[in-house]
Amino acid sequence: MRFEGQREIMIALVQGDSLRPGLTAEQAAETFSALASPELHYPLTVRRGWSQPRYARWLEQTVNAALLGDASTTAKT
């Protein structure tokens, strides 16, 4: 169910020409699902001690770079 919701977001980005050229909504949803997964969140926040704001910034930067491919959309650390 979570993946389907993420897929719908990626479809909207495709329709708005926001995704990196050549990247399908399905590929973008798979990438986003992996990056935003609880299986990745846990080791970064619990085991590595990242704060929620740090994790959120990292996720935003990583998703922007992977899916949008526009360095200007990536926040500075």
Q: What is the pLDDT of residues 19-65, one digit of tens each?
A: 888 888 888 888 988 998 999 999 999 999 999 999 988 988 898 89
- On whether the pTM is more than 0.85, the answer is no
Give the model's pLDDT for residue 7: 65
Which domain range does residue 41 map to? 2-73
Residues 45 and 14: their CA atoms lie apart, in Å, by 31
Structural domain count of the chain: 1
In angstroms and rounded to an integer, the radius of gyration of the C-alpha atoms of the chain is 13
- The residue among 10, 3, 5 whose CA lies nearest residue 68 is 10
Give the model's pLDDT for residue 2: 54
Q: Which backbone phi and psi does 76 adopt, to 5 degrees? A: -80, 145
Give the model's pLDDT for residue 72: 42
13 confidence band (pLDDT: 50, 70, 90): low
